[in-house]
Amino acid sequence: MIKFFRHIRQSMVNQKKTKKYVLYAIGEIILVVIGILIALQINNWNSNRIENIAEKKALIELRKGIISDAEAMQLSLSEILSQIDKMKHLKRLLKNEDLKYRRSLDTLFGSVYGVQAIRINKAFYEDLKASGLKLIKDDNIRLNIVNLFEDNYVLLDKIFDMELHINDITRPYYLQNFNEIDFLKSATPNDFNEVWSDTYYKNIVHYRIINLESNHVDAYQKTIPKITALAESIKDYLKLSDD
């Protein structure tokens, strides 16, 4: 094809058809430019297609992850609220210094000792950051993703770290003063009267209630709705069918 056009140009030059040659040259340049523009358009279309596929895959995986986290948080929240109810019941009973030991109290003692933590999944977000958050074209979705992981998830990590420090306080006391310990379920006092009258233990119970209410409960109740809203936004954005 190139040889064909070159032959036409050479023929015009030989025949001294300058005007036609100039027009032909202009036309050839226009064809070349159009060809380049078409090639660029095809390349851009292909790049956008690849980016759209990558964006959809990343959002689908992230959505699955946060929905799984929300389900785990909801389950943990229900368990924590149940534990708090038991501890508040124990706190009220501790005011009665003359109360006699009964086996049913062991479930109340057990509710105080144990670590309340779940494993949250940040791998998808870390992968997304590594590949570039600009992959997410919707500004609101991208902002909500960043806020969820950089604010709520970071706070949850700090709360779970705090759980380990609290456990460092409750564990020595329980190991010294209780037996038949089943974390968050049951614990039998070695000397009921000693534990029952111990101000330090009453403070442990009170502190445990305050900590769970102000940290875990508050964090879960703020995070779960944000996850639900983000998951719904991603679903609408990708036009996904109902789960």
Q: What's the mean pLDDT in 45-49?
A: 62
Q: What torsion do the CA atoms of 156, 106, 181, 201 make, to the nearest 10 degrees?
A: 70
Mean pLDDT of the chain: 85
Q: Higher-confidence residue: 51 or 173?
A: 173
Backbone angles phi, psi at 149, to 5 degrees: -80, -35
How do strand 186-189 and strand 178-182 relate by DSSP bridges? antiparallel
Residue 223 reports pLDDT greater than 90: yes
- Report, as an integer, the average pLDDT of 58-76: 93
Is residue 71 pLDDT above 60, yes or no?
yes
What's the confidence (pLDDT) of residue 104?
94
Question: What gap in Å lies between CA 108 and CA 178, rounded to an integer?
Answer: 13
Kindly tell me if the per-residue pLDDT of 188 is higher than 80: yes
% of the chain at pLDDT higher than 70:
80
- Compute the average pLDDT of residues 91-118: 93
Whole-number pLDDT of residue 121: 83
Give the pLDDT mean for 31-52: 67
- Determine whether 48 is exposed, middle or buried from the number of CB atoms within 10 Å of its CB (0-12, 13-18, 19+): exposed
> Residue 33, class by beta-carbon neighbours within 10 Å (0-12 exposed, 13-18 middle, 19+ buried)?
exposed
The reported pLDDT for the residue numbered 99 is: 95
- Which residues, including other chains, have CB under 8 Å from residue 173's CB and lie 6 or more apart? 200, 201, 204
Predicted TM-score (pTM) of this structure: 0.78
Is the pLDDT score of 228 beyond 90? yes
Q: What is the pLDDT of residue 67?
A: 94
